[in-house]
Chains A and B, each alone.
Chain A
Amino acid sequence: MKARYQNRIELLQGTLDLLILQTLQWGAHHGYGIAQAIRAGSGEVLRVDAGSLYPALHRLERKKWIKSEWTVSDKNQKVKAYSLTAAGKKQLVEERSNWERLSAAMAGILHPSEKESEA
């Protein structure tokens, strides 16, 4: 069991929301699809377990950033598909810029020399 977690990175508080919003940017997805997309997109590094995914989805839905709809999947199954709302799109832009500032700041602290050379 333990080995499974070794290659994974714990998601920072709030980053899951960003990942979900980002994933939904290109169209509606159901829960499993979102989890798989994040996993594949991160090269198997980020794994979202169901215990985080569903609370996050329901929380985002309550904040009206995403909406859900029951549709029929390509595998001909009835699934609950989530998609971005207008407010969600705005939120995505904002969170993305937040994240970029954060990662730039982190990078500046972790690699001071690079920063100096840039300057």
Chain B
Amino acid sequence: MKLFHWRRRKEEELDAEIQNYLDEAIRDRMERGEPAEQARANALIEFGNVGLVKEVTREMWGWALLERLGQDLRFGLRMLWKDKGFTAIALLSLALGIGANTAIFSLVDAALLKTLPVKNPERLVSLERGDVPPGKSRDGFSHAFFEKARMQQELLDGVCAFWGNPRVNVAMDGQAEVASAQRVTGGFFAVLGVNALLGRTITEEDDKVPGAHPVVVISHQYWRRRFASDPAVVGKSILLNGHAFTIIGVTPPEFFGAIVGEAPDFWAPMMMTEQLSPGTSVKGYYRMGFAPMLARLKPEVSEQQASALLTELLRQTDLDEVGIEIELWSPERRQALRQQNIALIPASRGYAAFGFPTVRTRFSEALRILMAVVGLILLIACANIANLSLARSTARQKEIAVRLALGASRFRLIRQLLTESLLLAASGGALGLALAWWGIRFLLALMASGRTPVYLNVTLDARALMFTAAASVLACILFGLAPAWRATDVGLTPALKDNSRSAEGVARLGLGKSLVVMQVALSLSLLITAGLFTRSLGKLYMLDAGFKKENVLQVSTDPRMIGYQGKQVVALYQRLLERFKTIPGVRSASLGGVGLLGGSGGGKLIIVPHAQGRPAPPGEQRPPIGTVTPEYFETVGMTILRGRGFTARDFDRGSGQKAVVVNEAFARHYFGEEDPIGQRFGYNEAGDGQEIVGVVKDARQSSLRETAEPIWYGAGFGQEATTFQLRTTADPTYIITAVRQAAREIDANLPLYDIKTLAANVDGSLAQERLISALSGFFGLLSLSLAGIGLYGILAYSVSRRTREIGIRISLGAQPGAVLRMVLRQGLILTLLGVGIGLAASLGATRLLESQLFGVTPTDPVTFVGAPILLLTVALLAGLVPARRATNVDPLIAIRQE
């Protein structure tokens, strides 16, 4: 406003100044004897163009740039508004291109690039065994080692461990729900350098004696969701698995722990393991040694120094622990112990270790592919707009020629045209941002629908905004510069004469054609990518998983959370099973099991005496055990190939052999071609105790992509957390209420979780595949329509240029069919050129997708034939409209036109 006033005043002053000059000049002339009228006229002539003088003077105010930009913007807006069709298509394709890029970039940023929202994340390292090749299963670190590492205050600013997000039953104000609680050692928050938003975090003092520190820190999200952001939450008491815990603090909103993709609701001291995860103990947990460990290096300490120290510590601790017993060890084993070492892996972007599945390892490949796909989309959109701009600038050729003739510099005109592009890019970017906001929600929902839900803290933050701005500017340059350069390269005389067959026109058409060819080629690559992914997904869905996913409802529970133990659990399960079977619509019900895309879990070491010549190395003979009830195979739809399934008799735990059922993989692995029925194996040296009574068909266990591993099933109810399966006559989701009701009747406090259909479970296991396939399909079709628009544009333009030629042809007797073919042929040639380039490029590039494909080769013939056919069809349709227009050319009008 102030600026505006200042400018108004300057403007008025300048007017007064000039008026003053003129007045004086007139007076001088009159004093010299000129008549008033003549004096006035001569003074004005001498002064020159008042407007121009003002103009050049104004430029001295240092405003000119801003002012001209304003003019350019106004003019640009007017031109864009005049050509609404062009603007709409350009905006839409830009918004989609930029929006898609921003959305995927935000995801890539959150999953792969951003550092943890903690203090100096670059000093954090993950502890890992350096002596085990990646991919091999590895032991963890002992508790003794952890305690010693924690004392190393010379090089380290602390070491912490954390593990798992076990489900806990939360009871508060008479309402129960299942939430996740991460157990952390006392140093966790100090090592990460995270302070509480409210209250305090867990400290070493809270992690001393097993079971003695009932405190929890809650996440910001849980605080908002469950406590409505109540500032008085600190000090409140909640029941976790029936144990009273005190809330001591709330974490900051951006904090999600040390692993990207997880979002625990609670953090509790490791010493509370028994309370939070019934059936486990702190000691047992360290013996299992799964705990991810993080350390913070002191500022001036190098990774080498730290890993050397920790390696020494590890060897020493283990030697001490083994003690004298080492004399009994084999030399190899002794050697292995003395040579073990510790590798430090930078953890600035979250905890990472070899073979530790995180969001990063699971989604990084998919995200990279998607980033490339959306990058191509933006390129296609830019080519499309450049193409349309070219056609448009031809229409504006005369306008441009007039402006050049009136003395506008070429640079000035290019700037005007670029301003228009910038306007487009900026509004496209803004729209894209809105689309991205919506798209991120959609993507996160897709990712969270997986079997292991992924929680990412994705926001449209400053980084995303910078990315969008950069993408918009890049797009602007890409689609704006070449057409602007071309448009202003006008031979004045022919252009002013409106000779539409000038040489420039032909050259311009050439640029447009190459843009269309590029669009077609890129679009074909995207279509092929989409085709490969869609076909992979289709194959995965069509795959015989070994079970029948339709009409099965799964319900999980863990009665240990509310205090059930041992036999009580079995009794409860029996009652629940009987009760579930009476629900109308339930055909059969079972519980237990393993696999069904739920992961296969651990097994026990078994000894199979009559295994056929295959003494598998130790450690490998731990096939997972599924403890199931009689109707299990029938309920989940697994086929018994040989022998029989379980009967009620198998549950009477008399003496003698217990009946077990094995899968095909088990039978093949241990007995080869021999009949496995009647074979025995067991945990003891004698290798008996279990007798195989049946062989069941292989089923996919942890993923549809992986073939089955050996599994065996025993009859029983189990005493741990379990999953019920209910086969229904109709849509299984209808009985969910009845199932909840039934469970409540038996124990109102029983936590039920993961209530979902088996089909949804299968879907969930394909979350990543569906993500890629849905998005690449969407973008493939988008690029197809953009290519269609581009082709239509160039053909329509060429027809309008050749109106006279076509008129002459028709008047000389060309048939409509011939004219039609002529135009179509032009389009087809461009398309075929693009298809050729696209095919060649795709043949080379799709190999990069191989790891994401299933059941199709990267050069899948169906896709490589289908995609070009689809593209050619669209090209033909796009060409038909201008071709029809060409046949309707009236020769008389066409020839007279010029």
Interface residues of A (CB under 8 A from B): 30-33, 35-36, 49-51, 54-55, 58-59, 62, 75, 77-80
The residue that A80 contacts in the complex, of B17, B23, B62, with Cβ under 8 A, is B17
16 CB contacts below 8 A, A to B, read A30-B17, A30-B21, A30-B24, A31-B17, A32-B21, A35-B21, A36-B28, A49-B48, A50-B18, A54-B18, A58-B61, A62-B62, A77-B20, A78-B16, A79-B20, A80-B20
Q: Are B57 and A54 in contact (CB under 8 A)?
A: yes
Q: Are A58 and B25 in contact (CB under 8 A)?
A: no
Q: Are B20 and A32 in contact (CB under 8 A)?
A: yes
Please indicate the chain A residues that have their CB under 8 angstroms from the CB of B144 in the complex.
none
Which of A33, A58, A75, A77 has most B Cβ within 10 Å?
A: A58
Contacts A50-B18, A80-B13 given; indicate if A32 touches B57 (C-beta within 8 A).
no
Decide if B65 is an interface residue (CB 8 Å cutoff): no
Q: How far is the CB of B679 from chain A (nearest CB, A)?
A: 100
Decide if B47 is an interface residue (CB 8 Å cutoff): yes
Decide if B327 is an interface residue (CB 8 Å cutoff): no
Q: Are A62 and B48 in contact (CB under 8 A)?
A: no
The residue that B23 contacts in the complex, of A50, A55, A77, with Cβ under 8 A, is A77
Residues B36-59 near A (CB distance < 8 A): 46-49, 52-53, 56-57, 59
Please indicate the chain B residues that have their CB under 8 angstroms from the CB of A49 in the complex.
46-48
Decide if B648 is an interface residue (CB 8 Å cutoff): no
Q: How far is the CB of B462 from chain A (nearest CB, A)?
A: 37
Q: How far is the CB of B20 from chain A (nearest CB, A)?
A: 5
Q: 4 tightest CB-CB pairs across the interface, nearest first?
A: A58-B60, A32-B24, A54-B57, A59-B60
Q: Are A51 and B20 in contact (CB under 8 A)?
A: no
Q: Which residue of B lies closest to A47 (CB)?
A: B46
Bound: A30/B16 CA distance, A: 12
Total residues of chain B contacting the partner, CB 8 A: 24
The residue that B60 contacts in the complex, of A30, A55, A79, with Cβ under 8 A, is A55
Main SS at interface, chain B: helix
Q: How far is the CB of B521 from chain A (nearest CB, A)?
A: 53
Q: Which residue of B lies closest to A54 (CB)?
A: B57
Please indicate the chain A residues that have their CB under 8 angstroms from the CB of B28 in the complex.
36
Q: How far is the CB of A31 from chain B (nearest CB, A)?
A: 5
Bound: A30/B27 CA distance, A: 15
Q: How far is the CB of A66 from chain B (nearest CB, A)?
A: 12
Q: How far is the CB of A53 from chain B (nearest CB, A)?
A: 8
Q: Are B56 and A55 in contact (CB under 8 A)?
A: yes
Which of B21, B27, B48, B56 has most A Cβ within 10 Å?
A: B21
Bound: A35/B48 CA distance, A: 14
Q: Are A58 and B57 in contact (CB under 8 A)?
A: yes
Which of A36, A50, A55, A59 has most B Cβ within 10 Å?
A: A50
Q: How far is the CB of B62 from chain A (nearest CB, A)?
A: 6
Give 11 A-B pairs besides A62-B60, A62-B62 with Cβ atoms closer than 8 angstroms. A30-B21, A31-B17, A31-B21, A36-B28, A49-B47, A50-B18, A50-B21, A51-B52, A54-B53, A75-B24, A78-B20
Please indicate the chain A residues that have their CB under 8 angstroms from the CB of B23 in the complex.
77
Q: Which residue of B lies closest to A52 (CB)?
A: B56
Please indicate the chain B residues that have their CB under 8 angstroms from the CB of A50 in the complex.
18, 21, 47-48, 53
Please indicate the chain B residues that have their CB under 8 angstroms from the CB of A75 in the complex.
24, 27
Q: How far is the CB of A106 from chain B (nearest CB, A)?
A: 29
Please indicate the chain A residues that have their CB under 8 angstroms from the CB of B14 in the complex.
54
Q: How far is the CB of A6 from chain B (nearest CB, A)?
A: 15
Bound: A49/B45 CA distance, A: 11
Q: How far is the CB of A104 from chain B (nearest CB, A)?
A: 32
The residue that B49 contacts in the complex, of A30, A51, A62, with Cβ under 8 A, is A51
Residues B258-309 near A (CB distance < 8 A): none
Bound: A26/B387 CA distance, A: 64
Which of A32, A35, A62, A78 has most B Cβ within 10 Å?
A: A32
Q: How far is the CB of B550 from chain A (nearest CB, A)?
A: 81
Please indicate the chain A residues that have their CB under 8 angstroms from the CB of B17 in the complex.
30-31, 54, 80
Residues B181-238 near A (CB distance < 8 A): none
Q: Are A30 and B20 in contact (CB under 8 A)?
A: yes
Q: Are A80 and B16 in contact (CB under 8 A)?
A: yes
Q: Which residue of A lies closest to B23 (CB)?
A: A77
Please indicate the chain A residues that have their CB under 8 angstroms from the CB of B27 in the complex.
75
Complex interface bits, B130-171 against A, C-beta within 8 A gives 1, otherwise 0: 000000000000000000000000000000000000000000
Q: How far is the CB of A56 from chain B (nearest CB, A)?
A: 8
Please indicate the chain A residues that have their CB under 8 angstroms from the CB of B56 in the complex.
51, 54-55
Q: Which residue of A lies closest to B52 (CB)?
A: A51
Please indicate the chain B residues that have their CB under 8 angstroms from the CB of A77 in the complex.
20, 23-24
Q: Are B25 and A51 in contact (CB under 8 A)?
A: no
Q: Are B61 and A62 in contact (CB under 8 A)?
A: yes
Bound: A28/B14 CA distance, A: 18
Please indicate the chain B residues that have their CB under 8 angstroms from the CB of A79 in the complex.
20
Bound: A66/B62 CA distance, A: 17
Complex interface bits, B54-78 against A, C-beta within 8 A gives 1, otherwise 0: 0011011110000000000000000
Bound: A75/B20 CA distance, A: 12
Please indicate the chain A residues that have their CB under 8 angstroms from the CB of B16 in the complex.
78, 80
Please indicate the chain A residues that have their CB under 8 angstroms from the CB of B62 in the complex.
62
Bound: A83/B53 CA distance, A: 22
Please indicate the chain A residues that have their CB under 8 angstroms from the CB of B21 in the complex.
30-32, 35, 50
Q: Which residue of A lies closest to B58 (CB)?
A: A58
Q: How far is the CB of A43 from chain B (nearest CB, A)?
A: 18
Q: How far is the CB of B53 from chain A (nearest CB, A)?
A: 5
Bound: A31/B21 CA distance, A: 7
Q: Which residue of A lies closest to B45 (CB)?
A: A1
Bound: A31/B23 CA distance, A: 12
Q: Which residue of B lies closest to A36 (CB)?
A: B28
Q: Which residue of A lies closest to B59 (CB)?
A: A55
Bound: A36/B46 CA distance, A: 13
Please indicate the chain B residues that have their CB under 8 angstroms from the CB of A62 in the complex.
60-62
Q: Are B20 and A55 in contact (CB under 8 A)?
A: no
Contacts A31-B17, A32-B24 given; indicate if A55 touches B57 (C-beta within 8 A).
yes
Bound: A7/B50 CA distance, A: 24
Bound: A55/B18 CA distance, A: 12
Q: Are B59 and A51 in contact (CB under 8 A)?
A: no
Q: Are B53 and A51 in contact (CB under 8 A)?
A: yes
Please indicate the chain B residues that have their CB under 8 angstroms from the CB of A54 in the complex.
14, 17-18, 53, 56-57
Which of B13, B17, B59 has most A Cβ within 10 Å?
A: B17
Please indicate the chain A residues that have their CB under 8 angstroms from the CB of B60 in the complex.
55, 58-59, 62
Bound: A33/B53 CA distance, A: 18
Residues B374-416 near A (CB distance < 8 A): none
Q: How far is the CB of B289 from chain A (nearest CB, A)?
A: 76
Q: Which residue of A lies closest to B10 (CB)?
A: A58
Bound: A78/B20 CA distance, A: 8
